[in-house]
Amino acid sequence: MFAPRRISSARILLVLVAGLLLAAPAPQAQPRRTGSANHVVVISLDGFGGWALDDPYLPVATLRRLAAAGAVAKAMRPVDPTVTWANHTSMVTGVPPARHGVIFNGLLIRDAGVPPRVEPWRDKNELVHARTLYDAARERGLTTAQVDWVAIQNAPTITWEFPERPDPKGVIAQETVKAGILSQADLEAFQTKNILWRDHIWTQAAAHILRHHRPNLLLFHLLNLDSTQHRYGPRTPASMDAMAHLDSQVTTIVTTLEKSGLLANTTLFVVSDHGFKTVKRQIRPNVVFAKAGLITVDSGKITGARVYSVPEGGTDGILEGRMFAAAQDSHIVDPEPNETVELSLEAVAISNRRIGTEVRTRVEARLGSQL
């Protein structure tokens, strides 16, 4: 068995088509302006490793056409921790997780008596502690939109949205129903549908927003490739098929820009947040903690924890339980000699400064293993 993990050495595809980058100087330095005819569209293909473009037999004709006509970044180094929300938030803030505070795919919640957990459906203002591109755009009087972007729930500076979990009563959601993109019943059961279909609807919703609202900034994120690689692994026929399908979704956006007369004034970025590597071994520090008596388990349920490991994206944050007063420094776990681990001082700094958690130690598995 293998399971894919995210890897911190992905390359990014960045395509510049036309128009001007939405620069964001200090708001007081520029007069507020409205009605700008310039547009920026950011398309994030989750989990699209840059290696894919080195394979001439991957059929992604639109991406190659855009790359040939624009500019392509040779490589990127994703942020640490290399998880989806941390990377996306760095893309729109320009600062690392140590400053914006998003180090999980959600907000770390620590309640007394239960292990810490990560909750994704928390408001952007709770999660993101840095000024974002869409904040800056709105300050300049520009309009903003997001489709399936992350760490952005109830962001007050987003003008139009079709979120990862659309509100059936939302303005854009209702417009998409009226436009025949999906039925009201499917909208209300959106989360239960397969990720390929949801990617399709998100693409149609993004096209709808471009056509009918013409935002100055659109942030658009697609998830199927990430899901496919988690399930089937990278460099598999399934993952390459998902990449080819993503190309068709990018085509839809480009065609919409062309037909709407927006393309000439649009800067299009196609980006990704991380790649994938195959792993063959799972490391579970909580098992070691339980054996050491630091976590107590009754009938398969955790009843107490003096330390607790929260895995995320191939790394682990080791947390002290709030309910347990005894200060017990966590320690690096090495269940297999020579198999782990690396202490990340940055993670400790992140936790202490930004989100007030008590991450004492972070362990990181070597390639080939996953925490």
Contacts to Zn ion by CB under 5 A: 46, 84, 226, 273
Report in angstroms how near the CB of residue 292 gets to Zn ion at its nearest: 33
H/E element holding 361? strand 359-364
Report in angstroms how near the CB of residue 274 gets to Zn ion at its nearest: 5
Report in angstroms how near the CB of residue 150 gets to Zn ion at its nearest: 9
Q: Closest CB to Zn ion among 4 and 166?
A: 4
H/E element holding 279? strand 275-279
CA distance 342 to 80: 13
CA distance 197 to 189: 12
304 touches 37 (CB < 8 A): no
Q: Closest CB to Zn ion among 80 and 273?
A: 273
Q: Closest CB to Zn ion among 46 and 320?
A: 46
Q: Closest CB to Zn ion among 226 and 358?
A: 226
Report in angstroms how near the CB of residue 160 gets to Zn ion at its nearest: 23
* Position with the least CB separation from Zn ion: 84
Among the listed residues 267, 257, 170, the one whose alpha carbon sits nearest the alpha carbon of residue 206: 257
CA distance 214 to 160: 10
CA distance 296 to 143: 52
Q: Closest CB to Zn ion among 46 and 316?
A: 46
Q: Closest CB to Zn ion among 84 and 157?
A: 84
Report in angstroms how near the CB of residue 316 gets to Zn ion at its nearest: 18
CA distance 233 to 2: 8
User: What single-letter DSSP state applies at residue 113?
Assistant: T
Report in angstroms how near the CB of residue 300 gets to Zn ion at its nearest: 31
Report in angstroms how near the CB of residue 296 gets to Zn ion at its nearest: 34
> At 208, is the secondary structure helix, strand, or coil?
helix
Q: Closest CB to Zn ion among 84 and 256?
A: 84
User: What's the distance, CA 267 to chain centroid?
Assistant: 21
DSSP code per residue over 147-166 = ES-SS-TT-TT-SEEE-SS-
Residues forming beta bridges with residue 43, ordered by sequence position: 220, 270
